[in-house]
Amino acid sequence: PNSSDSGESYSRYKIYLGNPCPWCHRVKAAMAVLNLEGEIPVTMLIDDAEKASKGGWILPTPSADDRKANIAEELITGDLAGVYNYCYRDILEEGEKYKGRCTAPLLVDTTTGTIVTNESNEIMILLNDYARRLPDHEESVDLRPIGREEELDDATKHWFDLLWNGSYKCGFATSQVAYDEAASDVLKGLNEMNEVLASRPYLLGEDVSEVDLKGFSWVTRHDYAYTVIFKSPGGRIAQYPYISAWVKRLVSDYPKLLDSIDMEDACGSYYRQLFMLNFGRVVPYIPNVKDWVAGL
């Protein structure tokens, strides 16, 4: 989508999201805060590595709206790999399958049957740009204020390196040195974030931004997925008073965030799908997000 797209033309687009995925969660959180849930069709993927031909995601039963919209069958049935195959149909040889990674989030132009982007940061920017053009945009949230783009991008990289990717690096470390380095980053990130939030309500100041929503998608998985199955250090979020207050402030100011994640399913997916890290696939107790927030 570009700046010339109107609200009507936006219905041609579809976003594919998976609840367990933090990169998808940040997109869904942005839609919730920007009040865009009804503006752009969303397909919530199901993580099922056994049924998916590739990539681990299968599509749910097509909705009545999808059927009415006359969307290509490949975009509403099968698995996400099939969506990628269809979107790359013009450059693939007959019978050839897409060889790249079939990841979500994914933004597709259903009219042309092509991929717009599968990068969560880019999708969040597009959503924020679209929200700005809505009739009541002056009263809405601006997650990426004009003039602060560099500051936002720098903050995203900073917290990605320390926390958002740090936890994954802990989980998939193949040497003690690699784990120790990643664990050190996570500990540094937790303490630094707690210090930052001691003097401001949100990560970049007085107003919520895209960086807060990216952080929210990480923090909701920290206690019951990353600290256990990834051995990510630092203890529970409740041990960090200012991070805890920030989480409570986010869901108080933007209650729809509580509906942006099924925490039991999201955290449970790590235990069910990452069998190389959890051979028995035993899923521990995981609270729902409202109970987790209440316990901070």
Q: Which two tokens mark 180?
A: 């120790």
Mean pLDDT (the chain, rounded): 93
**pTM (global) more than 0.85:** yes
Q: Which two tokens mark 117?
A: 């982007």
Q: Output the pLDDT for position 51.
A: 85
Q: Output the pLDDT for position 189.
A: 98
Residue 2 — pLDDT band, cuts 50, 70, 90? low
Closest CA to 296 of 265, 252, 256, 260: 252
Burial 263-275 (b: 16+ CB within 10 A, else e): bbbbbbbbbbbbe
Give the mean model confidence (pLDDT) for residues 121-132.
Answer: 96
Give the separation between CA 295 and CA 293, rounded to whole angstroms. 5
Q: CA distances (Å), 46 to each of 58, 111, 171, 201, in order?
A: 5, 24, 23, 35
- Greater confidence, 176 or 64? 176
Q: Is the pLDDT confidence value at 6 over 50?
A: no
Q: Is the pLDDT confidence value at 137 over 70?
A: no
Which residues, at least 6 apart from 69, have a Cβ–Cβ distance to it below 8 Å? Answer: 11, 41, 110
Residue 138 — pLDDT band, cuts 50, 70, 90? low
Q: Is the pLDDT confidence value at 229 over 50?
A: yes
Q: Output the pLDDT for position 53.
A: 82
